Amino acid sequence: NAGVTQTPKFRILKIGQSMTLQCTQDMNHNYMYWYRQDPGMGLKLIYYSVGAGITDKGEVPNGYNVSRSTTEDFPLRLELAAPSQTSVYFCASSGTDGYTFGSGTRLTVV
Amino acid sequence: AQKITQTQPGMFVQEKEAVTLDCTYDTSDPSYGLFWYKQPSSGEMIFLIYQGSYDQQNATEGRYSLNFQKARKSANLVISASQLGDSAMYFCAMRGPWNTDKLIFGTGTRLQVFP
């Protein structure tokens, strides 16, 4: 199984640009999450989803949007990139077999 | 609100010695789960150990054990016989409300193992 796949692994954005971070899981997990990790810090929840068509805000949702049209996919959208969004982004999913994290996307906004 | 606190920003331990990483938590939910993750310099999140709030015994996984003291709301990670490869960031996390399954993370402890 591939688990949780995130793309891209690295990206540099200019201020004001937009992009979508892709996340796909093949474990048929209902729950999916987006976290961000700033340097030297823990992970903070941006958005989460408890199933297809259902999403909700986490601790730090400002500047981001998500959608969950299928069980497998949970993309994260940045509309107007700001330097404060420079971070490492982790997608994760959970089911009865526990939590699985993607390998992360390192985003730099310049 | 649920909260995880890790008060040790950094810890040093000599190879082959044991080390304890502290974690305290706060929740009003009687059912919760506590996790420890390791994050090496490569960045991936590696699951180490899990303790459920109703588990009667402390969890163990190889060299990792969780010292769960429910009354004190602490869930310390004990690593026995430290190895150089244990040098990494360690995060304590708590599973949030049952209907969301969210994980709430602490700020982490950087462990450095020296020869």
Contact by Cβ (8 Å): B26, B45: no
Is A27 at the interface with chain B, CB within 8 A?
Answer: no
CB contact under 8 A, B35 and A99: yes
Identify the band that residue B98 occupies on the pLDDT scale cut at 50, 70 and 90. low
Identify the band that residue A27 occupies on the pLDDT scale cut at 50, 70 and 90. very high
Of the residues B5, B90, B101, the best mutation for testing chain A's interface (the one with the most A CB atoms within 10 Å of its CB) is B101
The distance of B38 to chain A (nearest Cα, Å) reads 12
User: What is the total residue count of chain B?
Assistant: 115
Is A101 at the interface with chain B, CB within 8 A?
Answer: yes
Whether residue B94 is predicted with pLDDT greater than 70 in this model: the reply is yes
**pLDDT tens per residue across span A81-101:** 999 999 999 999 998 888 999
Write the DSSP symbol of residue B106. -
Tokens encoding B55: 């588990």
Is B102 at the interface with chain A, CB within 8 A?
Answer: yes
Write the DSSP symbol of residue A73. B
| E strands, chain A, in order | 4-7, 10-13, 19-25, 31-37, 43-51, 54-57, 64-66, 76-78, 87-95, 98-101, 105-109
Residue A1 pLDDT: 63
Contact by Cβ (8 Å): A65, A6: no
Is B33 at the interface with chain A, CB within 8 A?
Answer: no
CB contact under 8 A, B91 and A43: yes
Contact by Cβ (8 Å): A25, A7: no
Average pLDDT of chain B, as a whole number: 94
**Chain A residues with CB inside 8 Å of B104's CB?**
45
Contact by Cβ (8 Å): A20, A76: yes
Distance CA A57, CA B71 (A): 31
Beta bridge partners of A77: A20, A65
Identify the band that residue A104 occupies on the pLDDT scale cut at 50, 70 and 90. very high
Distance CA A77, CA A41 (A): 22
**pLDDT tens per residue across span A47-81:** 999 999 999 999 999 999 999 999 999 999 998 99
CA B23 to chain centre: 6
Q: Considering CB atoms only, which of B47, B50, B100 is closest to A50?
A: B100
Q: Nearest chain A residue to B33 by CA: give it.
A: A98
Write the DSSP symbol of residue A70. S
- Burial (CB count within 10 angstroms: exposed 0-12, middle 13-18, buried 19+), residue A38: middle
Mean pLDDT of B60-67: 97
Please report the number of interchain residue pairs, chain A to chain B, with beta-carbon separation below 8 angstroms.
49
3-class DSSP state of A84: helix
